[in-house]
Structure 1
Amino acid sequence: MAAIISRSTTSPSVSASSVSASSAVPSASTLPTSIKSKDSNPPTIPPTVRFTNTQDLFDIINSTTGDFLAVTNVSPNQFTEIERERDTGRKTGQKKRYRKFRFRRYNANSQVLIITIPTDLHEALHLGLYTPYLRSTTEEKWKNIGSATFRAEHGHPGGDGGEGDSTGGPRPERVGAGNWPTLVMESGHSETLPKLHKDMRWWFQASNHEVKIVILAKFDDQQHHILLEKWEEEISSPQGAITRSRAAAILQQNSVLNPVKRQSITITRDETTNPVSYNVTRGALVLGFRLLFLRDPDPQEGDFVLSIQDLQLYAENVWAELPRSD
C-alpha cells in the first residue's frame, strides 16, 4: 500500500509551451475520425483539424477513439465559446453531443487547441497514481482541484489556458478562484514524450511557479512500457569561473527557476512468467511533503510514497485498459 514517510525534500521551470499549426489540415467536417490503437502497434498520430464551428468540433470529438485531438484556427473568443458550450452541455446532461473532454492546452498566439479525450487507458495512467494519494490525505488538508481550467494571464496576453488530468493543492493556501495547484499529473498515450515535456514546462511557467510538482505518465507502445517522470524546479547552479560581471548577472538571474527531473521510473511487463509480472526500475515514486503542502510536516506527516509493489499493481491496472486488436 502507499505509505507516508518523513523525509526532507527539495523544491521547484520555465519555457513557454506552444504548438505549431499545420499549414494544411482538414476541417472539422472532413476529418476521418476512426483512430485505432492496438496492443502491438504504436498509436496513430493524433489527428489535426481546422476549427469551423463548435457543433462540427463536438461531432469530431464524439467519434474520435484516440486520446488527443489538435484543433487549429481557434481564436481566443472561439476558445471561450467552446468552453462555454462544453460546460453548458455538462450541466444540462447532453451526453451524446457533449462527450467528456478536457482542454490540454490552448495557445493564443498559434491559435491551437489541444484536446484530451479521456480513454480508459488515459485515465488509468493518471488516476492510478492520484487516487492512492487522495486516500493518504484528508479533505481538511487537501483540495482536489481535478481538471479545472487555468488561465495563464501572467505574461500571456490573449488567454492561454489549460486543464490538467489530475490536480490539487493544500487547504487553505490553494482554495478559491485563481489559485493554482501544487501538484499536477498529466498522462499520455498517443501524445509524445516531448509534448508531455512542453506540458510540464507550461504548468511551471504559466502558474508563475506556483505549481511545485508535475508527474508525467506515458504509455509507450513502441517500447511497450510505462514511463513515470517527476519534475520539480530549482535555481540553476553557475558553471565555470565566476568573474565580478558574471556574479552580477547570476544575481540578476537568481529568480529564474528551471525544470529538473527528480525521478524517472520505467515499468515493463514480462509475459514469460506465470502469472504475468511487472518490473519496476529505479525504485518507488516519492512526492515531497513540503512541496505539496508548502510547510514542514507535523510529527505524524511525511512524504507520500508509492512503493514498487504499489507500482506493479498500478501497471497491471493500466495494461488491463490497453485496447486489444481483434
Structure 2
Amino acid sequence: MASITSRSTISPSVSASPVSASSAVPSASTMPTSIKSTKDGDPPTVRFTNTQDLFDVIDSTTGDFLTVTNVSLDQFTEIERERDTGRRTGQKKRYRKFRFRRYNANSQILIITIPTDLHEALHLGIYERYRDQLVRNGREGGWKSIGSATLRAGDHPGGDGGEGDSTGGPRPERVGAGNWPTLVIEAGHSETLPELQKDMRWWFQASNHAVKIVLLAKFDDEEHHILLEKWEEEISSPQGAITRSRDAAISQQNGVLNPVNRQSITITRDETTNPVSYNVTRGALVLGFRLLFLRNPGPQEGDFVLSIQDLQLYAENVWAELPRSD
C-alpha cells in the first residue's frame, strides 16, 4: 500500500473493503495529499470522495499510476467532464495531463495514468520508430494515430472504458469516432507487470478482438531493465491452437481467442563499458503487417522491424528520463 501523508489538518477518512484492480483494497480518501509509492513498488491507492480532491491528489502524485476506488458511473462521468473542461480552459488543477487507463463500472475502480517523462519515453520511443518506418516507406497516409482517445467496451457503452498510451490503426478501416485501434502500446513504471497484463487482456476483450497487437513496455526498477512484451491472440479449440490468422467469427464457432505472448525482449544497461552500452536479449521487435493493416502485404510491403540498434537507441533515451535522486 502506498504511504499517504495528509497536507491538511483534517484527518483522511480510511477504510473500505479490500479491493484490487478488479475487486476492492483498503484505501485512504482523496483528501489533498502527498503520495509516494512504497519501496516494494506498490502503486498508491486512494478512495474517491469528490472530484476536486481527486485532482489535488493527481497533482501531487509523483509516480505514473494511481488506483481510485469507490467511483460510481456518474462520478466517473463527472471526472471525465471536469478533466476535459480543464484542458479546454487551461485551469491548472484540471489541466495536469492524465489518462484513464481503465474504468470498471461493476467494481467502481478507476485506474489513472499520470504521464511522467519516463512513462512517455517508454511508449512513444517505440511508436515513433514505427511511425518513422511508415513515413520512410510512404505508408503514413494509410495509418491513423488514435492516441489516447477514450474507447468504450461494446457491452458497456456508457460505462467501462479505457485510454491507451500510443494507439493507431489503418485507414480507412479504423477511421471514425469509437473505432478501435489495431495496435496498442501501454507503458508502466510504477504499474506492475501483472497489472499491465490485465490492461492487455482488457483491450482484446473490450474491443471484441478488434485490437490485434498489444505491446507492453515496463521499466523495472528492481531488475533495472526494460521489458517489452508483444501480445497477439490465438484461436484455441478442444483440439488445441488453430492459427492466429483466422477471423474472430471462426473462433466463435470453433473455439475462443486467447492472448499469447509472441515476443519478450529484455534491455539492460551496462555501465561497466565506456561509453555505457545496452544489451538486448531475444532479437529485434517485429510488428506483423497483416495484423496492423488487416490485409496481406502487397509489393514492397512487409512486417515492421525495430532492429537491435533501434532498441538500443530507444533504451538510451528511456534511461535519460529516469528520475535522478538528489
TM-score by length of structure 1 reads: 0.86
Give the superposition deviation at 1:18. 5.0
C-alpha distance in structure 1 between counterparts of 2:21 and 2:254, whole Å:
25
Q: Is the 8 A contact 1:153 1:159 kept in 2?
A: no
Distance 1:95 1:301, change over 3 A: farther
Deviation at 1:238, TM superposition (A): 3.9
- Cα distance between partner residues in 2 of 1:258 and 1:299: 31
2:145 maps to amino acid = N
Q: Where do 1:59-138 residues align within 5 Å?
A: 59-137=56-134, 138=139
- Residue 222 (structure 2) pairs with residue 209 (structure 1): no
Does residue 57 in structure 1 map to residue 59 in structure 2?
no
Residue identity matched to 2:22: V
Percent identical? 82
Q: Is the 8 A contact 1:109 1:158 kept in 2?
A: no
- Within 5 Å, give how 1:124-163 maps onto structure 2: 124-137=121-134, 138-154=139-155, 156=156, 159-163=159-163
- Residue from 15, 19, 22 that aligns with 1:19: 22
Q: Residues of 2 paired with 1:251 and 1:294: CA distance?
A: 17
Question: Where does the alignment leave 5 or more consecutive residues of structure 2 unmatched?
Answer: 1-19, 241-249
Tell me, in whole angstroms, the C-alpha distance in 2 between the residues paired with 1:200 and 1:74: 22
> Is 1:45 matched with 2:49?
no
Cα offset for 1:174?
A: 0.1
In 2, Cα distance between the equivalents of 1:139 and 1:55?
Answer: 41
Q: 1:238 to 1:255 in 2, by over 3 A?
A: closer
Q: Any conservation in 1 of the 2:232–2:262 contact (CA below 8 Å)?
A: yes
**Cα separation, 2, equivalents of 1:63 and 1:32:** 5
Q: Given that residues 284 and 308 in structure 2 are in contact (C-alpha distance below 8 angstroms), is that contact kept between their aligned partners in structure 1?
A: yes
Contact kept, 8 Å, 1:45 with 1:190, in 2: the verdict is yes
* Segment drifting more, 208-217 vs 297-306: 297-306
Partner of 1:172: 172
Partner of 1:247: none
What displacement does 1:30 show? 5.5
Q: C-alpha distance in 2, partners of 1:255/1:83?
A: 37
Contact 2:82 2:94 in 1 (8 A): no
CA deviation after TM superposition for structure 1 residue 178, in Å: 2.0
Deviation at 1:253, TM superposition (A): 5.8
- Does the residue aligned with 1:178 lie in a helix, a strand or coil? coil
- How many residue pairs match? The answer is 294
Q: Give deviations 1:77-114, integer Å, cap 9, x for gaps.
A: 11111111111111112234421000001011110000
CA contact (8 A) 1:58 1:98 kept: no
Once superposed, what is the RMSD of the aligned Cα atoms? 2.0
Asked if 1:309 is matched to 2:313, the reply is: no
- SS of equivalent to 1:79: helix
Q: Note closer, same or farther for the CA distance 1:290–1:127 as it changes in structure 2 (3 Å cut).
A: same
Judge conservation of contact 2:34–2:60 (CA < 8 Å) in 1. Answer: no
SS in 1 for 2:35: coil
| Counterpart residue identity of residue 215, structure 1 | L
Change (3 A) 1:35 1:251: closer
The residue that corresponds to 1:231 in the other structure is 231
CA distance in 2, matches of 1:54, 1:251: 42
- CA 1:251 to 1:210, structure 2 compared with 1: closer, same or farther past 3 Å? closer
Q: Using CA pairs under 8 Å that are at least 6 residues apart, name the structure with larger relative contact order, 1 or 2.
A: 1
Is the 2:73–2:105 contact (alpha carbons within 8 Å) kept by the matching residues of 1?
yes
Match for 1:106: what amino acid? Y
How many angstroms does 1:237 deviate by? 5.2
CA distance in 2, matches of 1:253, 1:142: 31
SS in 2 for 1:65: coil
Deviation at 1:140, TM superposition (A): 1.7
